[in-house]
């Protein structure tokens, strides 16, 4: 050189540039891998990749030119340090942005790499400001390398712990997923069984519905048959009612005829006293004929066809009633008028009313003795 100093490009210079390349490559790749810059910070990730490639290309070109015999190392050292300063500054900026965005492990990475990056920046700044001849007295490169090794080890250790925790979390998640799958399979089997049970229940319900329909059809047929029977019974009841009315009218007419004969005999007895004895016997016979059992039996038979078990229940509830009182009760039950009952029994209507009063009193006394409600004394038709 004009100053009398000599410079050479020895193996030491080659190794020094290679070590800087390896150091920066380690920093960049460590940052990109440790912090998910490709996914979280894509612009800074692209800037780091392009800056590293530019520095590698620059170092390779300068090294090849120096090796070929053209000494450029002295003139390119300043630019070399400026490029290193830019790459390191970009690394610090990426780490700070990741910490500000609270990316996973960004704080740990910042603490582990802040010191070596700062030492590299100081060393590069010293070279830029004060020159490159430090005669081996500058400790910044050694401190940067040692701190980088320590920080790198700490970051790797923390990263491994984080990976282990993540792996354990993934294992737990996989176990939970497997358990969830088993639960889903069990649920699927349960649903299949429930569906089978539901299908069975539906089939049973269909069978029951069919059975109910058949039973309903049978009931409908039975109801129709019962209605036909009821109509037949109703027709028979109406016939019995007509026959009962006819029998009652017959007995009433017979009683009226006998009463008229008895009245005529009484008048003849008054006109001819000498025949009173014979007429008295005839009157006795007529009086007896008013209560012939044959006519009463015929009336009773038709009455029980229309009102079954009437006399049986009357005998059970009122055993003290006489046959004459039972006969009165049957006349009261079919609501004959006072005059009709008087004509049937050949007595006057006042006697019928008195007989009704005595009958209801007797029945009421029997009901009170047995704890039943006494019947209401309804007025006779025609009163």
DSSP state at residue 381:
B
The two three-digit tokens of residue 383, written as one number: 């009163």
Q: b or e along 9-45 (b: 16 or more beta carbons within 10 Å of the residue's beta carbon)?
A: beeebeeebeebbebbeebbebbbebbebeeebeebb
| pLDDT of 313 | 86
Query: How confident is the prediction along the chain (383 residues), in pLDDT tens digits per residue?
Result: 677 766 667 777 788 888 888 888 888 888 888 788 888 888 988 998 899 899 899 989 888 888 887 777 767 777 887 888 888 888 888 888 888 888 777 777 777 777 777 777 777 777 677 665 544 445 556 666 666 666 666 666 766 677 677 788 888 888 888 888 988 988 988 998 998 889 888 888 888 888 888 888 888 888 888 888 878 767 766 666 655 665 665 565 566 666 666 676 667 666 666 655 555 655 555 555 544 455 667 677 767 777 788 888 888 888 888 888 888 888 788 777 888 777 777 778 888 888 888 888 888 888 888 887 766 555 443 44
Tokens coding 54:
């530019």
The domains of the chain, with CATH numbers, are: 11-138 (no CATH), 309-383 (1.10.10)
């Amino acid at each position: 050189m004009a100053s009398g100093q000599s410079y050479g490009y020895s193996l030491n210079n080659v190794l020094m540039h290679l070590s800087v390349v390896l150091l920066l490559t380690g920093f960049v790749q460590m940052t990109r891998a440790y912090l998910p810059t490709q996914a979280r910070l894509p612009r800074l990730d692209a800037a780091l990749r392009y800056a590293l490639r530019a520095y590698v290309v620059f170092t390779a070109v300068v090294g090849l030119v120096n090796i070929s015999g053209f000494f450029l190392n002295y003139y390119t050292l300043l630019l070399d340090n400026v490029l290193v300063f830019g790459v390191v500054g970009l690394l610090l900026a990426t780490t700070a942005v990741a910490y500000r965005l609270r990316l996973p492990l960004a704080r740990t990475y910042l603490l582990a790499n802040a010191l070596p990056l700062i030492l590299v920046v100081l060393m590069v700044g010293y070279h830029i400001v004060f020159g490159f001849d430090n005669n081996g007295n500058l400790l910044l490169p050694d401190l940067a390398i040692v701190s980088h090794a320590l920080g790198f080890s700490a970051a790797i250790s923390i990263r491994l712990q984080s990976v282990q925790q993540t792996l354990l979390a993934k294992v737990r998640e996989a176990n939970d997923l497997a358990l969830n799958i088993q639960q889903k399979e069990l649920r699927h089997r349960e649903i299949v069984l429930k569906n089978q049970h539901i299908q069975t229940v539906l089939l049973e319900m269909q069978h029951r519905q069919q059975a109910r329909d058949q039973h309903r059809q049978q009931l409908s047929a039975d109801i129709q048959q019962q209605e036909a029977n009821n109509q037949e019974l109703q027709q028979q009841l109406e016939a019995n009612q007509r026959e009962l009315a006819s029998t009652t009218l017959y007995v009433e007419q017979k009683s009226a005829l006998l009463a008229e004969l008895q009245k005529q005999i009484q008048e003849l007895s008054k006109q001819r006293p000498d025949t009173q004895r014979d007429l008295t016997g005839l009157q006795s016979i007529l009086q007896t004929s008013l209560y012939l059992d044959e006519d009463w039996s015929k009336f009773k038979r038709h009455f029980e066809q229309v009102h079954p078990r009437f006399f049986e229940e009357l005998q059970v509830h009122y055993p003290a009633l006489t046959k004459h009182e039972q006969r009165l009760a049957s006349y009261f039950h079919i609501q004959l008028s006072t005059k009709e009952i008087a004509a049937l029994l050949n007595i006057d209507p006042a006697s019928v009313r008195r007989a009704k009063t005595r009958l209801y009193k007797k029945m009421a006394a029997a009901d009170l003795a047995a704890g039943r409600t006494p019947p209401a004394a309804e007025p006779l038709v025609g009163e």
